[in-house]
Structure 1
């Protein structure tokens, strides 16, 4: 991603953005809205809660120092810190960074495409809660993460539970007339992510699903790493009912 795009990625997230208000209250409604009126619900309540069963399967697979890209209110970073793990969240929202700090996690207001601490020394990079969409260019995002990781490091990404591969312009809205500035976004199902991984030389280290959420672990080229040994788990499936989330689009209101 070019430098101008990195700068623009910080612009939609202002003090008056509906996302900021949602983080302050810990609840929605909150959506990503395309120009054609299509709405994607964002699960603010889950983001602001303690890690759930699906999140815990992600944390169990983390190796070494963990970079949570688009950490939001910081539930994963805070949980890792509570376990004594080295973890850093990055987010372009000042409110998200502040929320993470209040939970006891470390976070920086930074785009993933800007210079970051520990470059080429992270054991794991997380793209959870739809964050494969960051920047609207999954190939560039995955390539950047591969360059941030230590040799043999892991990318753990959450995918949309349908076969989709799209690039769109969206803005955050509360569905009641308040909206943020537009920005590029992407949505990928597992097949699309695996196509990008093959091109970039990332090896599939695991695929699993829990409570309707889907995850893929990808490993960078070299198997030699100082990160902790992988904690491998079997593919998990749960049929427990859950609230609408960022994986479940709804019609425009």
Structure 2
């Protein structure tokens, strides 16, 4: 987003000690991920130690925001922090609607792609100091980004520090009931003709890093333990979403913003499983966390 005040820096070369300790997965900075973002296509996978592969939906991440993404954008309030913004499709969507947002990502390629779309993004981990801490209206954890750091409770505590009291977290959950914390590798893989994907010769690997996968029931359990309140949940396009409040904000407020405790579903065909993602700000006020970056 363009700003009427001080622009958000497009990179953050200086890395200081994190306010909350947490891992920065090295593999999201590796060549396979950067190459996939540059080309806009995979195949790219997270691989568990037992060889199981989780496909990453690179093509969807690099495309324009679809109807399901725009439904998430509709729920956003105030200045938006997109955690693990990926190539920036949500940043661009918020910008197009006159929203104020900032994307953060540990991948330089993701930050560059977001900036190339006209968005604002910082090369930074969520566990490092961030601009506007305690003043963001909405935080996003889309495309599997609940997995960041492999410790959902620690991640939820960190996000609560970033939001205003009563701030909104919009999170995408796995479409199955799962609560998994594992070590994974990021691999660039190809089908070997047997129906199984095998690691290709071009796949680089910087070693395992912690990741988590949460379905909606698991997220609600972790959120309640961390002091969050459920504000709504829905499904669309084969994807599942949960809205959480960092403080009790009242049911009337949630109802006014289209958030309630019911689950809605669409007739759209399911999309591929995914794990990472994107967002931006226009004319923020001097009090805006975007303006302060």
- Per the TM superposition, whether the score is higher than 0.5 is yes
Pairing partner for 1:245 from 256, 273, 276: 273
Distance 1:144 1:8 in 2: 13
Contact 1:151 / 1:221 at 8 angstroms: preserved in 2?
A: yes
Post-superposition offset of 1:6 = 5.6
Matches within 5 A, 1:1-253: 8-9=23-24, 11-14=26-29, 17-175=31-189, 176-177=200-201, 178-181=203-206, 182-223=208-249, 231-232=257-258, 235-246=263-274
Distance 1:147 1:222 in 2: 15
| Structure 1 runs of 4+ with >3 Å offset | 5-8, 227-230, 233-236
Contact 1:32 / 1:173 at 8 angstroms: preserved in 2?
A: yes
Listed as ranges, the gaps of 5+ residues in structure 2 are 1-16, 190-199, 276-293
Cα distance change, pair 6–171 in 1 and its aligned pair in 2 (3 A): farther
| Alignment TM-score, normalising by the size of structure 2 | 0.77
| Alignment TM-score, normalising by the size of structure 1 | 0.89
Distance 1:180 1:103 in 2: 28
Listed as ranges, the gaps of 5+ residues in structure 1 are 248-253
Post-superposition offset of 1:33 = 0.6
Contact 1:72 / 1:91 at 8 angstroms: preserved in 2?
A: yes
Contact 1:9 / 1:92 at 8 angstroms: preserved in 2?
A: yes
Higher relative contact order (CA 8 A, sep 6+): 2
Post-superposition offset of 1:233 = 5.3
Post-superposition offset of 1:238 = 2.1
Post-superposition offset of 1:52 = 1.1
Distance 1:155 1:203 in 2: 10
Question: How large is the Cα RMSD of the aligned pairs?
Answer: 2.3
Q: Which has the larger radius of gyration?
A: 2
